[in-house]
Amino acid sequence: MNIETIRIFCDLVEMQNFSRTADKHGVSQSAVSQQIAQLELTHKCQLINRKKRPPSLTPAGEIFFLAGKEILDRYDRLVSDLTNQSKSPARINLAAIFSIGMHTLQPFVKKFMAKYPNVYLHVEYCSAVQIYDRLQKGDIDFGLVAVPRKMRNIDVFPFEDEPMVLVCGPAHPLAALSQIDIHELQGIEFIAFDKGVPTRSLTDSILAQYGVTVRMAFEFDNIETIKRAVEISSTAVSILPEPTIQTERAANTLRALTFVNDRFIRPTAVLVRKDKRQSQASRYLLELLQKQKSLEER
C-alpha cells in the first residue's frame, strides 16, 4: 500500500466514478480497479460495493476512507512543511487593526520570534476594511480585527475578549469614580470612532440597548486620536477597550470606569482564508494566538 493508492481510493469514493477517477490520475480504468482490488486483497475485506451504481462503500470501506483522508492530510502537510523549510527566508504577512497591533499583539510576536528566529514575521497596521480585502486577495496570511464578521471563505478564530470601559480625562467630574451606571451618560459629550468602524457599531449598540443618547462631540478614525482628545477634555468621555489605555492609566492621563450594568466586551479574532495552506511556522502562530482565548476561558 502506498500514498498514491490511498489517494486513488479516496478520489473514487468522492467522485463515485471509476472513469473520472482514472482520468484524474492519468491511468486506465482497469488500473484503478486493480489497485482497489489489491487493497481489498491486502486487508482481506471488501471496501467497495461494485454492484451498486454509483459504487458505494462497505462498512470496512467507510473505516478505510476516514483513515485514508487523515493519512493524506498529514502527508500533504508534511510535504508542505518540507517545501517551506527549503525556502529561505520564510515570511508570514500579518495585518492588524492599530489598537490590537499596538496594545495586544506584541507579546505574541516576541514569543513567535523566539521559536522561529529565521522566519520573517511582517506586521502592518490597516483598517478592518483593508484587512478583509487583502485577506481575500491573498496579500496577507493572517488578519487581526475587532468585532469580526463571518464570511464564506474566511475562517474566524477567537482571539481576545476586551472589556469596554468608560474613559475620561483626570480633570473630568467623573474622574474620581471607579464605577458608573451607563444611564448617567445620557446627554453627555462623547468622542467616538467614525461611523463604519466596527468598534463604533459596537459602542452604538451598547448605548442603544440601554436607551442612552449622547451628544457626539468628535469622531475619529483611530484610537490614538480619540485618547488624546479625551485626555485634554474636561467635558467629553468615550467608551474604549481596556487593554488600549494601559499606558495612559499608568501615567495618570486617563481614568477608566467600569460599568455596573454589565460586562461589555469587544470581541477580537484572527482571520485566515479557508483555502490557505499553512506552513509549520504559520500553524504555530495561529495556535499561539488562539491560546490567549483558551487561557481566558479556564
Is residue 60 within 8 A of residue 47, CB to CB? The reply is yes
pLDDT at 295 over 50: no
DSSP conformation class of 272: E
| Domains of the chain, CATH where assigned | 3-86 (1.10.10.10), 90-160+267-297 (3.40.190.10), 162-264 (3.40.190.290)
Q: 294: helix, coil or strand?
A: helix
Omega cis (within 30) before 89? yes
Looking at residue 294, its pLDDT comes to 42
pLDDT (tens digit per residue) in 176-224 = 999 999 999 999 999 999 998 999 999 999 999 999 999 999 999 999 9
Minimal CA–CA distance to 220: which of 101, 124, 127?
Answer: 127
Q: For the chain, what's the residue count?
A: 298
pTM: 0.66
Instruction: Identify the weakest region by mean pLDDT among 23-32, 271-280, 289-298.
Output: 289-298
Looking at residue 225, its pLDDT comes to 95
pLDDT (tens digit per residue) in 59-81 = 999 999 999 999 999 888 888 77
3 state SS for 262-280: CCCEEEEEEEEECCCCCCH
Looking at residue 197, its pLDDT comes to 93
Distance in angstroms (rounded) separating the CA atoms of residues 73 and 202: 39
Q: 77: helix, coil or strand?
A: helix
H helix count then E strand count, the chain = 11, 12
Pull the grid cell for residue 10.
479516496
Looking at residue 49, its pLDDT comes to 87
What share of the chain has pLDDT > 70, as a percent?
A: 95
